[in-house]
Amino acid sequence: MNIVIFGAPGSGKGTQSERLIKRYGLHHISTGELLRDHISRGTHLGKVADSYISKGLLIPDELMVEVLADIFKEHPETAAKGVIFDGFPRTIAQAEALSKMLSEYGTDVHAVVGLEVDEDELVRRMLERGKDSGRSDDNIDTIRKRLDVYHRQTAPLKEYYLSQGRYHAIDGNGDLDRISDDIARELDQHKDKK
């Protein structure tokens, strides 16, 4: 089973992914964490990524798809085992590239979990996280920019996956355990239907 965890910045993708990995034994691919790791190591990719991230912009599709393709090439077993994609895809072009890459391994995106959170709650969470995350993008100006970019470039993916019957909306406000339980219920129902 390959799952995409989808949602606005601050919607809790990372937090809920950690819980899903434990429950379903999936491999976790977080593009945000991967890029932050490159930034902290000062690699070439990290320097390029930082120039976009600190402005609240997305890394260009072509580069992002290349990064993903490299992960699959280096770890072909991950695609076979089942992956939870956290932070990817963020554009329609990335979604199309992902399906194409997965099809080369005889698989596809099976379910998209959409964490839906009120905008003022998103801002509150990111400002709270910014107090000790050390992230260059968790400040109010960059948060506003990220939300704007999300609405323009990423949110259209909801319609895209809805039209494919793969989108599962989850109320991402409120208690962490309740949200995990809701996700598990949706995914278990999805598995049973297959």
Contact pattern for ligand ATP over residues 81 through 120, marking x by CB under 6 A: ------xx-x---x--------------------------
Catalytic residue chosen out of the listed positions 19, 36, 125, 129: 129
Say if residues 68 and 88 touch (Cβ distance below 8 Å).
Answer: yes
Binding mask 134-173 for ligand ATP (x = CB under 6 A): ---x--------x---------------------------
Query: Could you tell me which of 15, 17, 58 has the C-alpha nearest to residue 35?
Result: 58
Least distance CB 144 / Mg ion (angstroms):
18
| Strand blocks (E) in the chain | 3-7, 27-30, 83-86, 111-116, 167-171
Strand partners, 7: 115
Question: Is 120:37 a contact under the CB 8 Å cutoff?
Answer: no
Q: Which of 9, 83, 97, 166 binds ligand ATP (CB under 6 A)?
A: 9
Among this protein's residues, is 90 annotated catalytic?
yes
41 has catalytic annotation: no
